[in-house]
């Protein structure tokens, strides 16, 4: 499963493009974000990615969870979104 790491400075539109590209290849990926700003950018990127996928008749769903990552010898808690591709349901 591919892992995308998102920071508070990440561009949500570019991350959304990476999400769509990865999902079209693998149908699943993980997004990792540490800190409130990074989680905010990741959430926006997921919303934009859904819009991109809707144009192709597809959708995604994300399962959030906690992760622990070691940075500079210090353990930090972050958020992980496991993202899966699905077909868009008829409305």
Do residues 39 and 53 lie in contact, with contact meaning Cβ atoms separated by under 8 Å? no
3-state secondary structure of 77: strand
Answer yes or no: pTM beyond 0.85.
Answer: yes
Do residues 53 and 20 lie in contact, with contact meaning Cβ atoms separated by under 8 Å? yes
Q: According to the model, what pLDDT value does residue 91 have?
A: 57
CA dist 26 and 78 (Å) reads: 24
Q: What is the pLDDT of residues 32-88, one digit of tens each?
A: 999 999 999 999 999 999 999 999 999 999 999 999 999 899 999 999 999 999 987
Q: How many Cβ atoms are within 10 Å of 62's Cβ, its own excluded?
A: 18
CA dist 23 and 6 (Å) reads: 16
């Amino acid at each position: 499963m591919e892992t995308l790491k998102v920071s508070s400075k990440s561009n949500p539109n570019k991350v959304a493009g990476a999400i769509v590209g990865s999902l079209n290849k693998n149908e699943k990926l993980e997004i990792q974000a540490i800190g409130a700003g990074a989680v905010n950018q990741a959430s926006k990127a997921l919303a934009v990615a859904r819009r991109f996928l809707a144009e192709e008749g597809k959708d995604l769903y994300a399962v959030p969870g906690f992760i622990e990552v070691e940075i500079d010898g210090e353990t930090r808690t972050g958020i992980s979104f496991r993202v899966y591709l699905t077909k868009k349901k008829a409305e």
